[in-house]
Amino acid sequence: MGEMNKKVNVISCIFLLSILSFNAQSQTIGVEAKAPAYKLPEMLISSKGEKIQTPEDWINIRRPEIITLFGEYVYGRFPGTCLEKKFETVKIDSNALCGKAVQKNIVACFIKDGDTIPMELLIFIPAHATKPVPLFVGMNFYGNQSILPDPGIPVTKSYVLNNPEYHIFNHTATEESRGADSSSWPVERILERGYGLATFCYDDLDPDFDDGFKNGIHSLLDYSEKNDSNELSSISAWAYGLTTAMDYFETDERINKNQIVVIGHSRLGKAALWAGAIDQRFAMVISNNSGCGGAALSRRIAGETVKDINTRFPHWFCKNFHDFNDKENEIPVDQHMLIGLIAPRPVYVGSAEQDEWADPYGEFLSLYHAGPAYTLFGLEILEKDTLPEINKPLWTGKMGYHIRTGGHAITRFDWEKYLDFADYHFDRKDK
């Protein structure tokens, strides 16, 4: 009997220990436990070693320094003002989506020495809006026609051109692909909540394959052959598209140019963060599952690493970034500084529990370590470096974060939380 009791005790001990260790594992979100020790570069020490103590010093000294570092070592130079831009309205439909929206199709043209690259911008404005509306802008992966099964949306030409053989979830990149990615784009819900939505296909700026930076808008830029280590990357080209869309919004009286939210999922979340960091006209920045080179800290070496991403996607970052394969600790910046550049504007980072490749905890930690930039403006910051509960958004000051159940995607849950956050910060409680 005594022996039997001992056995039962040993078995229950083992059972208890395994429950405890399972809990510990789930709290550490997979790869966290393996992250090596690291020291992040200082957000508030200038290159001359001065301590940045005021918003003015941040704006005039440290912010430009950090932008230059990201441009030089991570994303590559931005084209600046060397391309001429023109906007052409090709269609306005005041009775789109069964009367729910005004649809506008704008072509933004990038022009250099007579050559033109078009970017097809699709905009929906809630039909019954009585004043300029706040608006979300985000790029799409598969052409404008993929966001809704609506025959009134022109099929994006660059997508068809660059992906003739490609199948979007079993649909060829043609008429057949209408609405193929509609689960990522709850258009009617966004309109119902009083927001406009604008989108364009990232292929318009730069098709997503490595061709040595020659296609897309690269074809219009004459960077010197000898000094191309910090050349505009694909992510910078995509981000440049977002800032160009912003140029257009400033001219459209149906849009509230002070309430534009830039949003992106995954690789397009990396571009949304970079665009939002550089261009302060964006009033709010949202990263959804953007991972390595986006919201996740590189130095954690958890999930996708710098070497992983540079190997699989050599065109996403500038050539200098490849020097940091397996040398994350030598990058002069880390991704918390990208989020710091958004201060004092609202920023929201969305992660997914099963998206370990994007290192959810590393995404959260970037937001946490962006704190010092927000503190300079007297804003509240995240108190603790521990993840909030799953599916329970955490908002502090201008920072928002959630980790939801499920995997790598932008879901209805994510959109609802982003819309709630925008309502709150745009003071739209009684809309």
Closest C-alpha to 254, from 153, 103, 121: 103
Write down the number of H helices and E strands in the chain: 13, 12
CB of 29 to ligand GCU, least distance (A): 17
Report if residue 309 touches ligand GCU, rule: CB under 6 A.
Answer: yes
Give the separation between CA 138 and CA 154, rounded to whole angstroms. Answer: 17
Q: For residue 110, which phi and psi values (nearest 5 degrees)?
A: -100, 125
Between 294 and 346, name the residue whose CB sits nearer to ligand GCU. 294
Between 105 and 289, name the residue whose CB sits nearer to ligand GCU. 289
Residues in the chain, overall count: 431
Find the binder of ligand GCU among 266, 310, 320, 411 (CB under 6 A): 266
CB of 269 to ligand GCU, least distance (A): 7
Q: Quick one: tokens of 402?
A: 């959630």
CB of 267 to ligand GCU, least distance (A): 3
Report if residue 296 touches ligand GCU, rule: CB under 6 A.
Answer: no
Give the separation between CA 337 and CA 63, rounded to whole angstroms. Answer: 9
* Residues marked as catalytic: 266, 408
Between 96 and 292, name the residue whose CB sits nearer to ligand GCU. 292
Strand partners, 121: 106
Report if residue 267 touches ligand GCU, rule: CB under 6 A.
Answer: yes
Find the binder of ligand GCU among 292, 296, 342, 365 (CB under 6 A): 292
Between 97 and 201, name the residue whose CB sits nearer to ligand GCU. 201
Q: Identity (one letter) of the amino acid at 61?
A: I
Residue 349 to residues 224, 255, 268: CA-CA distances in angstroms? Answer: 37, 25, 13
DSSP symbol at 406 = S
Residue pointed to by tokens 């800032």: 243
In sequence order, what are the residues at sequence separation of 6 or more whose Cβ sits closer than 8 angstroms to the Cβ of residue 48?
none
Site string (339-378) toward ligand GCU, x via CB under 6 A? ------------------x---------------------
Between 197 and 292, name the residue whose CB sits nearer to ligand GCU. 292
Find the binder of ligand GCU among 304, 334, 356, 414 (CB under 6 A): 304
Q: Give the binding site for ligand GCU (CB under 6 A).
A: 266-267, 291-292, 304, 309, 357
